[in-house]
Amino acid sequence: MLDEEEDQMANGSLKPLLNVLHGNRQDPVPIWMMRQAGRHLPEYMELRGRANGFLDFCYTPSLATEATLQPIERYDMDGAILFADILLVLDALGQCVRFEKGVGPIVEKVEKGGRLNKVPVQQAVERLSPVYETVSRVSSRLADNKTLIGFAGAPWTVALYAIEGRGGTDKSQARIWAHQHPAELALLLDDLVEVTAHYMAAQAEAGVNALMMFDSWAEGLPNDIFEQIIIEPNKKLVKRLRELKVTVPVIGFPRGAGVMLPDFADQTGVNAVGLDTAALPSFINRELPVSMPVQGHLDPLLLMAGGDVMERRVIELLDAYRDRPHIFNLGHGVLPTTPIPHVEKVVELVRAWSAD
């Protein structure tokens, strides 16, 4: 992996998005979008119809490969993100995970004092081998100028599903754990740090060029709890990745971090940060080092709405980050009812804009 990474750094312009993650300003600004493979694409819906449920979709390399590549083929994005799900780690650890139509994920709960160690780490990592096969297949088909992004859920966000048992909750059960049972929660998070590090390392070994940690439920936390369950586990995860000889850049996305984002960027060891919809460009530019790459943070609802307001906002964000390494993205994922022409328009605007 080291030789490959050194080669990529020496030839960073070959992969514009990867070049930015190494701290270099790139024009035109590279672009990809979170949840870019999804229900807004008719070809995705046709593909998903071939799978026997969502988990089967994720675990079938032939289907997951096509889902990963579809946005590249349609929009010519600079980055392809692995098609998988953050809850695959829980499934591999022996927690029952299922996806119900119209409901979302349903997860076997872990009780207070319980651990996520029913399945040994190496066995859990081996259970995820179809994901690595998908990475290998995508890597072999992706053009040389495209960056392949692997990912996993950050420890707190994955733990939250195991505690709450499902998505769409007010997250109060998990947050009460953080207040009342910090030692027990710390052990749970440590379990996830270890298995997630090995999982991401296996993705890197299979061929991803960068890795992203999704802390989708970092929002609304008091600063002391944020430090305890967001910053510290992400710091441990990045450190563990480096101990496992993973050299590719790591993007952290603590959605809803607000004023805690500078501490996250400074303390966790990530190479770049994702910005959510509420991020304020003046705050970002004032509080983050000018060398820190950022990606985001167009409102997905604005992308769905389209029109002149969307176009002006795209230019505003490009202008705002003209003096730092910047990857254009959304503040969260593409929504299912987003019109394809709106995505095409954003790509066109980003490609045409220049910092000169």
- With CA atoms as reference, report the closest residue to 33 among 17, 49, 55: 17
Residue 135 φ/ψ, nearest 5 degrees: -55, -45
- Residues serving a catalytic function are 35, 39, 48, 85, 161
DSSP letter at 12? G
Strand partners, 251: 212, 272
Question: What are the helix (H) ranges across the chain?
Answer: 2-10, 16-21, 42-48, 54-59, 61-75, 88-92, 121-127, 129-141, 155-164, 172-180, 182-206, 223-226, 232-243, 261-267, 281-287, 300-305, 307-320, 340-352
- Local structure of 54: helix, strand or coil: helix
Q: How many helices (H) and strands (E) does the chain have?
A: 18, 9
